């Protein structure tokens, strides 16, 4: 039995050295995980800040986009109104040209007759 208990002690000592090696590696692994988690946490915070900035920008831009949409939808109506105005001006100018030519014709008749 002495040999058996001797073998058992060696086994326990071997397990102890393996446990301490695993413990040292575990401590390093835990520190590495902590470091990685801290980097991930910092990255998440940075992303949250960017999302917040984009949200603020969108809140500022959205009313402008709506106004632009309203103006762009009313643009064809504005063009039609502009064309109507141009047509009215062209008719008025044509009428004035006709009146002017009639007056010029009258003046010529008056100067020839007089």
Token pair 């809140």 is found at 59
Q: How much is the pLDDT for 56?
A: 83
pLDDT for the residue numbered 19: 56
Say which DSSP state 19 is in: H
Residues 14-32 pLDDT 10s: 555 555 556 667 888 899 9
pLDDT tens digit sequence for 81-91: 889 999 999 99
Task: List the helix and strand counts (H, then E) for the chain.
Answer: 1, 0
**What predicted TM-score, i.e. pTM, was given to this entire model?**
0.39
Q: Is 58 left (phi over 0), alpha (psi -120 to 50) or beta?
A: alpha
Taking the chain (114 residues) in consecutive chunks of 10 residues, what is each chunk's mean pLDDT? 47 53 76 93 95 87 85 84 91 95 91 79
Name the residue with tokens 């984009």.
54
């Amino acid at each position: 039995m002495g040999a058996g208990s001797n073998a058992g002690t060696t086994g326990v000592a071997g397990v102890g050295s393996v446990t301490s090696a695993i413990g040292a590696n575990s401590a390093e692994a835990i520190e590495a995980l902590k470091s990685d988690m801290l980097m991930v946490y910092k990255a998440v915070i940075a992303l949250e800040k960017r999302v917040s900035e984009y949200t603020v920008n969108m809140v500022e831009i959205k009313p402008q986009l709506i106004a632009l949409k309203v103006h762009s939808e009313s643009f064809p109506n504005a063009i039609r109104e502009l064309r109507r105005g141009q047509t009215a001006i062209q008719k008025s100018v044509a009428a004035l040209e006709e009146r002017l030519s009639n007056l010029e014709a009258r003046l010529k008749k008056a100067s020839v007759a007089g």
